[in-house]
A and B are shown apart, each in its own frame.
Chain A
Amino acid sequence: MSDRLLVSTRKGLFTVSRKSREWAISAVYFLGDNVSVTLFDRRDGRCYAALDHGHFGVKAPSLNSDRLGGDCRPRLSAKPDGYEEADVLGRPLDRSTARIWALESGGLDQPGVIWCGTLPGGLFRSTDHGQSWEMMRALWDHPKRKQWSAGGADLPGLHSICIDPRSSQRVWVAVSTGGIWFTEDGGASWTQRGNGMRAEYVPPEMAHDPVAQDVHRLSNVRQHHSACGYNIITVSSSPPMKAGHSRRSRASNPRASVLPLSFIRASPTRHGLFLRSRMRSVPHRRASLS
């Protein structure tokens, strides 16, 4: 168990450390600033914080960088002169990064690579520890990106980034609301994933459309006792649910898989990771990630 927590808040980044039996705040960064997400990179010990300065925009500095306060922001590419875009509600889309909503380390074979997900849905990758960012144009320019809708915020949010530990070129991301997207070439091309999920809040003919799914979280779950080593779990608004997930089913499927679940509480046991729902279970359907 770790002895240190990094807690991102609207009032700063707090490091909470365990001393004997008690936890106490041991360090404070960006006091008074809105820290939307923090990443501790286990590969090299660096720490990255996403800041929302309101009037002054968003930044993603590394706490270890001497460029703190510089222009270390994921920046959407310049729009063509005269080009205007509206969101699915017909509102003008402000083509500017409004919030950093996900930070993720690249693979073990990619030192310095950091991924970044944002509102209004831009995905970025840095190869220099966040000093500069490259926008993943293939995802932004995908025709279905314009079908992404706002979830809990005013803009679509790319909130989850999962790197395949067996191949760093394989990456899944999830959008609220825009479903799950996958690349197997490091971001050069993207395809929609997540067939089998169901959204209850849209017209019936759209309920199984992968791009209509409001995925809340996509996460690598590492298994110490599993043959496949990990699974990818999704949590979304209203897909079919399953009360438990056996070690056998994971081992029989060495490919990454996704379990569409709702309001999930995950509990590690000696039999593996069990996923429980506080809601009534319905027949399970496996959604497709691969």
Chain B
Amino acid sequence: MAKVVFTANIQRHVLCPVTEARGQTVREVLESIFAENFQARSYVLDDQSALRKHMTIFVDGRMIRDRVRLGDAVSETSTIYVLQALSGG
């Protein structure tokens, strides 16, 4: 199962512990987690279920490219980081 690590800054709003979840894409993995932790969903995804504008996700050290469908591939041994994006100068 993929390992998912959420930014420490989200923890003051909603508890998101390090979690392992199944899925072949980022979408499948995250939806698996949000099915158990529904409150966390809106902190990461926007009204259209896309990744929030100022959030970013890394899979095994690479930033995902599909921010709308979250279709980037995930393996059984992947580590996923859900973080705030660095915006501005």
Contacts and interface: CB of A to CB of B under 8 A. Distances in A.
A78 B55 contact: no
A71 B39 contact: yes
Given A55-B85, A57-B52, A96 B39 contact: no
A69 B42 CA distance: 10
Interface stretch (B23-31, B43-51, B57-65, B70-78): B43-51
Nearest to A97: B47
21 contacts: A53-B43, A55-B9, A55-B54, A55-B55, A55-B84, A56-B10, A56-B43, A56-B52, A57-B42, A57-B52, A59-B42, A71-B38, A71-B39, A73-B42, A75-B42, A75-B47, A76-B48, A78-B47, A78-B49, A79-B48, A95-B48
Contacts of B85: 55
Nearest to A32: B12
Contact of A71 (B41, B50, B52, B55): B41
A76 B48 CA distance: 8
A53 B7 CA distance: 14
Contacts, number: 49
Interface centre among A53, A77, A78, A97 (most CB of B within 10 A): A53
A65 to B, nearest CB: 12
B48 A78 contact: yes
Interface size class of B (residues with CB under 8 A): 20 to 34
A94 interface: yes
Closest 7 CB pairs of A and B: A96-B46, A96-B47, A56-B43, A76-B47, A55-B84, A55-B54, A75-B47
A77 B50 CA distance: 13
The interface residues of chain A, by DSSP majority, are classed as loop
A254 interface: no
B13 A71 contact: no
Contact of A57 (B9, B39, B46): B46
B53 to A, nearest CB: 7
Contacts of B18: none
Contacts of B8: none
B55 A95 contact: no
Interface in A160-186: none
B21 interface: no
B64 to A, nearest CB: 16
A70 B43 contact: no
A95 B47 contact: yes
